[in-house]
Structures are given as structure tokens and as C-alpha cells.
Amino acid sequence: ELYDMKNAGACAFSDGKQTIVNSLLLQKALLYSRTFNGLIIHFPNDRHIMGNGQMNEGEMSTYLGMAGIPMLAEELGVGRDLRLAEYCEHRIHFSNISSEKSVRMIEAARKTILGMTCAVSSTQLLLSDDELKDYNTNFKMLPPLRTKNETKKLIQAIKQDKIDAIISDHSPENSLNNLNQ
């Protein structure tokens, strides 16, 4: 129960990087959390558009012959979530934004929905999809590293106070567990 967790001290609710695919479920979470001013943190991503993508869709994915994840996957997720937040008259926090267009959509929504916020990962600001040119899987991330141009646009959005937080997005995984299975 979100309400019980709020009373126990929780200040926000998230499913991590598990995008809530079911729009009705996200709508109910927004409506319910609105009653006690709870904050829903959501990772916007249209998994159908993402498909089996392994990295950013663009020149580098074409060069490497790898399936790409278009920014459209994120942007469709942001668009849907903004419409639901507007309908529910409640705020949402977008985690892990990697597209300047997503930032613009969130910025526009702030005019009608108070408390709308977003965050970008530090890796999205420091690295680009060029890091993958040697097939280094240490740079495989979700959302994927975008182009240098997109990185510059995100840095500019921070300077203009359009992005509310920079996060580490630290998601450690024990590769030894995978070897023992």
C-alpha cells in the first residue's frame, strides 16, 4: 500500500527501470498518490519501440551492425506519462532522461502541472555512444548512451535549469552470479 508506505516515511514510489507498460495502472498510481501528495518516479520507455535494441540508434549502431534503441522509445513514454499526469492532475518525476526532446516536453508540461521534475544520469552527460566503437559492454546502459550532440543539448538544459537533478544511476550487477548458473 502506497499510503501505508508514505506514513512509514517513504517519500516517493518507483519500479526502478521497470517501465509501467499498463497505462491504467500508472493512472491509478497517480490518482491514488495524489490523495496524499505522494510522488511517482517513472522510467519512461516504450518497450515495444525499444525492441531488442542494444545501444543508441544512429550512426554508431549502423557502423557496428547492432540493433539500436531510438530516442522515440523514451519520448513516447514521456508523452504518455505527461498526458496521464495532466489527466490525473498530479505530478510525476521522470528518471533517466536522455533526450533533449523529452526535456522540452517536460518543460512545457510544467506550465500546467506543478511539481513536474526530471533527472539525467551523469553518464549521459560525460559519455556518448562513441564509447561503444570497440564493443565495450561496460558502456551498455539503459537508456543507452546517446550522441555527442545530444549530450551537449542535455548539458545546456542543465545550465538553463530545465533538468532538476543529476543522478549516478548506479546499478551494480554481480557477474559471478551469472557464471554460476
Determine which one of 15, 130, 164, 169 is catalytic: 169
Q: Are 153 and 107 in contact (CB under 8 A)?
A: no
Question: Please, which residues bridge with residue 39 across strands?
Answer: 12
Nearest to 66 by CA among 136, 124, 127: 136
For 101-125, give the DSSP string: HHHHHHHHHTTTSTT-EEEEEHHHH
Rounded distance between C-alpha atoms, residue 74 and residue 96, angstroms: 10
Cell of 55: 545501444
Question: Please, which residues bridge with residue 120 across strands?
Answer: 166
Is 15 an annotated catalytic residue? no
| Catalytic residue set | 169
